Chain A
Amino acid sequence: MRLRSVRLTPYLFIAPFFAVFGAFGLYPLIYALQLSFMRWRGGSQARWVGFDNYLYLLTSPEFWSSLGNSAVMWLLIVPLQIVAGLGGAVLLANAKLRLRGFFRVAFIVPFVTPLVAMAQVWIVVFDQDYGLVNYLLNLVGLPDVAWLTSTAWSKPTLALLFLWKTTGFAIIILLAGLQAVPGGVYEAASLDGASRWRQFWSITVPLVRRSMAFLVVIQTLAVFQMFTEPRVVTEGGPYGSTTTAGLYLYDHINASDLGTGAANSFLLVLLVFGLSLVSVRMLRPKDEVS
């Protein structure tokens, strides 16, 4: 009797999790895959169309332009965030720093704020005619910039929101990586006469490579899924310049074109997976093989 109850126990423990996970995680995933091979618009009957949805997307200029917009966002965000994150982490890593706790909290506060609220603050602050940023530019004699209403500036302005909100998070992640570096390593390097800059490049950077790879992977995922920023701030405009891959996917939902939407999401999965693999490979420490 006792033995049987022990044998059943683990199944009872995982049952609630798998009931919910199966119904609202696995099932929709399989459903999405099936859907991606079907034509289903609005109220009409769904029918099997093979790879038509995928082919339609791969030959659609809008699809490629949404990927292009996301790629530009990635370029504006990820390299800058890694550099700024590493800089911030190095500044914070000193154990003798006063107010260290305060700085750590101050940097992470944006990460805790609701994105919708901050996106709306961005609308106000970056308004061309009455916004705070142009007001400050005018004070120092510079002309207005069309932050949210020109195709040249719309992407950098949204990228800035993303950077503002998540760079503190990057700093904390890299700081955790840095603190895993034994202090003795630097002392030995100093005794050998290595300059601080040299120490940074030959000790610090290689040792936080793993954290950097991790950051690149999750931020790649986040940038290609970016949805709330363009949805709230620019609604994808001007002229589609901020219609990111994530927002374009939402357009299919709005148009009740669910088969194409499902196909679009799987193309995104493949792309994000590929990009993550490449970045992990590039950032892998040199002494690790395969």
Chain B
Amino acid sequence: MFDFSIVTRWIDTFLREYMPEWGALLVEFVLIGVALLLLYALIALALIYGERKICAFFQCRLGPNRVGPYGLFQSVADMIKILIKELISIKHSDRFLFNLAPYLVILASMLTFGCMPFGRGLQVLDFNIGVFFIMAVSSIGVLGILLAGWSSNNKFTLIGAMRSGAQMVSYELSIGLSMLAVVVFAGTMQTSQLVELQSRGWFIFTGHIPMIIAFVIYLIAGTAETNRGPFDLPEAESELTAGYHTEYSGIHFGFYYLAEYLNMFIVAGIASLLFLGGWMPLHIGGWDAFNQVMDYIPSVVWFFGKTAVVMFIIMWFKWTFPRLRIDQLLNLEWKYLVPIGFVNLLLVVLITIFGIHF
């Protein structure tokens, strides 16, 4: 399997030959930043197109089909439109916080995005507390949402922000518990090692029942964390028009829009990292020929493929389920998911200690 670290190392040595160390680092930082930003934007565009097509097929429609073949350039056109739109400033709003909020949201999802293991050796941030870091930076996003709701000086946005605060803080707990289950099982928090450990078999298989429970909890909580249906209460359009981002226009709204889709990608990416082996191909113990064939498929394809499957499931949720009510949403978390999560954590500890796993 091709290791991308060969390429990155080659670039690194190439730059160091011609520049002092700080210069090489600077160039690398810029390169990585540009690459990440580009990837970020491209993935978001692809996702928006994909979601619109998928939801159209769910709803007996065709979806975008005018701009380019099969409407492929629809989201590009939308992006251009959003870029040239006016940024409307609101009277009596807290100007500074109002403008700051979208950047916080995008920052949180960018930072988490950096931790994704896209392929073998293709990872920006990788250090020994990777999972912990992901948890920490992804929760900055809720700050942006709260600030947006607060600073817009609008009652709808405030209710949306409060809902979102309650929702995200609660569901962070379930996400944390299911991540912790994986960490206990694997014995490491470093993302690259997590992937490496799954070469014998993905955690969802090797960890059997408790890992499947953790995966389901993660999927539910992750959907809630991204504010997507059926957990899209913060922006419930039939109740709060557009929730916390009602007052935003132009690229500021675009940031929320991008971040929403990217967060979905991130949630799906982490799901595939923790449970489905990240970029690790499907290996079945003893089937060497099969494993060999699987290894021919590039690691990037594996990662994006698994992520796409999880994203499809999340979209499927959104387009079939009605929205929950706020009390039902919190009931689900505090009365069901959290207790189940704790019990599950105990189970994982037991199977790890006694080695009752594959």
**Same complex origin of A and B:** no
A interface residue numbers (CB < 8 A to B): none
